[in-house]
Amino acid sequence: MADPRGFLRTRDRELPSDRSVPVRIQDWDEIHRHPVGDDGALDSLHRQAGRCMDCGVPFCHHACPLGNLVPEWNDLTWRGMWADASDRLHLTNNFPEITGRICPAPCETGCVLGINQPPVTIKHVELSIVEEAFERGLVQPAVIDRHTASTVAVVGSGPAGLAAAQQLTRAGHTVTVFERADAPGGLLRYGIPEYKLPASVVERRLDIMRAEGTVFRCGVDVGTDVTGDGLLASFDAVVVTTGSTLPRDLPVPGRALHGVMPAMDYLVPANHAALGEPVADAPVATGLDVVIIGGGDTGADCLGTAVRQGARSITQLEILAEPSRARPAAQPWPTYPTIFRVSSSHEEGGERVFAVSTVSLLGDDAGRVRGLQVVDVEQVDGRFEPVAGTERVLPAQLVVLALGFVGPEREGLGEQLGLTTDGRGSFVRGDDFSTATPGVFVAGDCGRGQSLIVWAIAEGRSAAASADRFLTGRTELPSPIRASTLALRA
Ligand SMILES: Cc1cc2nc3c(=O)[nH]c(=O)nc-3n(C[C@H](O)[C@H](O)[C@H](O)COP(=O)(O)OP(=O)(O)OC[C@H]3O[C@@H](n4cnc5c(N)ncnc54)[C@H](O)[C@@H]3O)c2cc1C
């Protein structure tokens, strides 16, 4: 156990301050600071890790899909045993530097200390361990010297594909990752803004994977450039991790107007531009009134991006009512509660409007969007009913639809590999991530539906274990979840 009286001595959470808003919105650099090797920061980290109670039943394990060994690495951090802490961290998580930055941390809402005190700063301890470990040269490629004769194709290089590929490479198989974008990373590289997760952080991990022997073939659209049959003929197993890429649309009059677009059509070019990569005809918010429809995290990322591009005004609309600040009684500890959350982007500007629905999009003579007709709504028997007399027009020359995703693309690869979809549009797989086509496995958002990085990594690890068992008849790879494992939620 870390400090036996730590949680009594240190009752508050301490976190390093972010870069100040006026400074950080001038650039695309990471907003959070991660002081490494700094004495003051280490003292604070020591106190925070020491708050972990090593409680009898650590719910943080259960709340984390990866089953992270949180009390163990809190203890090792408190003792300053960085190499051991890093080993424990990497035992369950291939990419702690990514979850440590942008996971919503279900572990913290499950922390037992959180019953009557602020929970342990688990996510920050995680990030501190891995960044210290990188700084000290402790994170090195795990190059194996015995190879099997088996080959595996992983299609898609988001966190699910990368985790599966690393696990299978380390099991001795020859792994090729196919990615249709020009560089690996999936949403980690071109979806999530640079100011939340720098591409250099992803690239640092990819370098380790390349050194371990994982091969990346980018710019290859599987299903078009390479067929499913071609993959099955050339590889002994295939892991499909193509993500949930079809955006949910807004079928209202005016949807086809110029200047109305799905979130990824806005965020991806903005991320390329932030990385200094050439982009043609990228939609830019500079000087415009921007309305983001969808009050979730993707919408918040659009908001932060529009702030940096110098939008004149930004409004984020959410159809649901504003959540309460405190845990609702029906969502007690240790569930992940629906509460009012303020993301770093919300600190930077814009207005959030709740309980409002878009009736139509209004255009000018040139076919460009000029505004939205909206109305307040209230929920009656699960339906959203308009509130009479609240109709109004919001000016907007850029409207971004951040309404979530409805599943993977089914044509092409999915059809060619014989994959079917379930009622939610996701690829069907068994509890062990296998599909009806022998040797083909499905993991990540394309099977689970739109989710989180931590789930994608857990799925990739588990699918890798199943693929390894399929190839060799046995496996020593860990399998943290079954495909049917549900998030610990109310
Ligand atoms: C804007 C945004 C912000 C987010 N922010 C967070 C966050 O802060 N924290 C968090 O936990 N989660 C966040 N998420 C969710 C998280 O990013 C996803 O749950 C996660 O990336 C899913 O991983 P994946 O590997 O299944 O798929 P993806 O990351 O979507 O990767 C799929 C990859 O497959 C490739 N691909 C698809 N089809 C083919 C094909 N036919 N051939 C070759 N390649 C193909 C795609 O190009 C892509 O690179 C965010 C999502 C979005 C959209």
Joined together, the tokens standing for residue 241 give 């991790």
Confidence (pLDDT) at 298? 96
Q: What is the pLDDT of residues 340-383, one digit of tens each?
A: 999 999 999 999 999 999 999 999 999 999 999 999 999 999 89
Å from CA of 446 to ligand 1 middle: 9
Residue 214 pLDDT: 98
Nearest alpha-carbon partner for 17 in 308, 65, 38: 38
Q: Which atom of ligand 1 is nearest to the CA of 267?
A: 1
Nearest to 249 by CA among 186, 299, 293: 293
Cis peptide before 334 (omega within 30 of 0): yes
Neighbours of 194 (CB within 10 A): 23
Residue 251: predicted pLDDT = 96
Closest CA to 392 of 358, 363, 426: 358
Residue among 94, 453, 461 to mutate when testing ligand 1 (max atoms within 8 A of CB): 453
What does the DSSP 8-state code read for residue 45?
H
How far is residue 207's CA from residue 277's CA, in Å, rounded to a whole number? 20
Q: Taking the domains of the chain in order of start, what are their residue ranges?
A: 6-135, 151-245+406-489, 249-403
Which residue's CA is the closest to the ligand 1 atom numbered 41?
222
What pLDDT is recorded for position 60? 94
* pTM for the whole structure: 0.97
Distance (Å, whole) CA 297 – CA 403: 10
Question: For residue 187, how far is its CA from the centre of ligand 1 (angstroms)?
Answer: 4
Res 487 pLDDT > 80? no
pLDDT the model gives residue 226: 97
Amino acid letter at 122? I
The whole-angstrom separation of Cα 316 and Cα 293 is 6
- Contact yes or no for 94/461 (Cβ under 8 A): yes
Report helix angle 122-135 to 70-78, nearest 10.
60
In this structure, of 21-25, 36-40, 72-76, 418-422, the range with the lowest mean pLDDT score is 36-40
Nearest to 260 by CA among 346, 367, 392: 367
The mean pLDDT of 175-203, rounded to a whole number, is 97
As a whole number of angstroms, the distance between CA 93 and CA 98 comes to 10
Q: Compute the distance from residue 158 Cα to the ligand 1 centre, in Å.
A: 5
Interval 175-179 mean pLDDT: 98
- Any idea which residue has 């496995």 for tokens? 441
Model pLDDT, residue 488: 58
Give 227's contacts (C-beta < 8 A, 6+ positions apart).
416
Q: What is the pLDDT of residues 41-72, one digit of tens each?
A: 888 999 999 999 888 889 998 899 999 999 99
pLDDT at 263 over 70: yes
> Do 151-245+406-489 and 249-403 share a fold?
yes
244 CA distance to ligand 1 middle (Å): 7
The whole-number pLDDT of residue 486 equals 84
Residues with CB under 6 A from ligand 1: 102-103, 155-161, 178-181, 186-187, 191-192, 221-223, 241-243, 267, 297-298, 301, 413, 444-445, 451-454, 456
Report CA(107)–ligand 1 centroid distance (Å).
Answer: 22
Ligand 1 atom having least distance to the Cα of 224: 41
CA of 182 to the centre of ligand 1 (A): 15
Classified as helix, coil or strand, 164 is helix
- Provide the pLDDT for residue 38: 75
CA nearest to 452, candidates 160, 58, 142, 90: 160
Round the CA-based radius of gyration of the chain to a whole number and report it. Answer: 23
* Residue 456: per-residue pLDDT: 98
Residue listed under structure tokens 């062990």: 432
For the chain, helix, strand, coil in percent to 5 are 35, 15, 50
**Fold held by 249-403:** FAD/NAD(P)-binding domain (3.50.50)
**pLDDT higher than threshold 60 for residue 489:** no
| Ligand 1: centre distance to CA 157 (Å) | 8
- Give pLDDT, residue 490: 33
Judge whether residue 118 has pLDDT over 60: yes
Average pLDDT of the residues of the chain: 95
- Domain 151-245+406-489 fold is FAD/NAD(P)-binding domain (3.50.50)
Pocket test for ligand 1, best of 30, 162, 187 (most atoms within 8 A of CB): 187
210-249 per-position pLDDT tens digit: 999 999 999 999 999 999 999 999 999 999 999 999 999 9
Percent of the chain residues past pLDDT 90, beyond the cut: 90
DSSP structure class, residue 120? P
Which are the contacts of 105, defined by CB distance < 8 A and separation ≥ 6? 122, 123
Other CB atoms within 10 Å distance of the CB of residue 399:
26
- C-alpha to C-alpha distance for 152 and 168, rounded to whole angstroms: 8
Instruction: State the average pLDDT over residues 148-175.
Output: 98
- The ligand 1 atom nearest the CA atom of 450: 19
Query: What tens digit of pLDDT does each residue of 310-343 get?
Result: 999 999 999 999 999 988 899 888 888 889 999 9
Residue written as tokens 């959410």?
A: 318
CB atoms within 10 A of CB 384: 16
Query: Using CA atoms, how far apart are residues 441 and 432, in angstroms rounded to an integer?
Result: 8
CATH of 6-135, one of 1.10.1060.10, 3.60.20.10, 3.40.50.300, 3.40.50.1820: 1.10.1060.10
CA–centroid distance, residue 46 to ligand 1 (Å)? 34
> pLDDT value at position 187?
98
Residue for token digits 């004769």? Answer: 149
Whole-angstrom Cα distance, residue 108 to residue 119? 6
Q: How far apart are CA 122 and CA 52, in angstroms?
A: 9
Question: For the chain, first and last CA: distance in Å?
Answer: 30
